[in-house]
Amino acid sequence: MTDMAGKTCIVTGATAGIGEALAQGLAQRHAALALVGRDEARLAAVAKECEELGAPSVHTYRCDFAVLDQVRDLADSLLDDLPRIDVLVNNAGLAVQKRRETVDGHELVFQVNQLSPYLLTRLLLDRLVASAPARVVWTASDSHEFGPLHTDDYMSTRGFKPLKAYGRSKLANILTTAELARRLQGTGVTANCFHPGFVSTSIGRDHPLGIAFLKLARPFIKSPKQGADTGVFLATEDVAENGQYFYKRKVHPTKNDALDPALGARVWDDCAALVGLS
């Protein structure tokens, strides 16, 4: 187990499920942590857990990824507080049953799962490069197979199906990871993403059918710790690959052109425009 003493790691969506397990895994390796979530009480509880597991310091930041201004404020706070950023783990995400729009005018799932982590990554990029060798790790999903991604309708205005909307956001995560890796070649910063497997988390629990399905599937469900294992591996161990999609600590095949360079560049530029970056 690689010791991360002297390293600073940011984990978004850190208050439950895979995010909490990611934070705990990094704490056990003695990383200093910056934990991001929406619930201040849960942030405090997870911070205490991580300190008890060996994290030398834990900062917490409340942020709702459904509000882009909060993401911008979060980036400012992180840059003020953290002289270096060794690892950024983009884990925050959600799934909903009905189409909703954010205060920024974007479809909720695409904003929370893709636009907000994209914006945060862009705003922290100079600090990551200055801290190199550094890493960006993104929690993706095999739900990307439910794409494809329609670049003329990121916001699902032509029809909203929960699984497809979630899958499109995860496909965008993989495309963005690969494009980020291409753009960062030679800087000492790498980017990879991973599929955690079928994990019992709070995603999908706002629907009766989802609750019933989870009860039936319980014998086959991974624990959050098991699901987070590949993410912790990518954040801490020597990984030769860059811009890849992992499952069970190994590069895994993708579908729907998830690693296509032309599509990745298009998604990168479109997301920049949607969040107001060049």
Mark 50-76 as b/e (b = at least 16 C-beta within 10 Å): beeebbeebbbbebbbbbbebbbebbe
Bridge partner residues of 134 (DSSP): 189
Taking phi first (over 0 means left), then psi (-120 to 50 degrees means alpha), and beta for anything else, what does residue 2 get?
beta
CB 233 within 8 A of CB 4: no
List Cβ neighbours of 225 (8 Å cut-off, separation of 6 or more).
21, 24, 25
**Which residue, chain included where needed, has tokens 């783990």?**
89
**Which residues are marked as active site?**
166
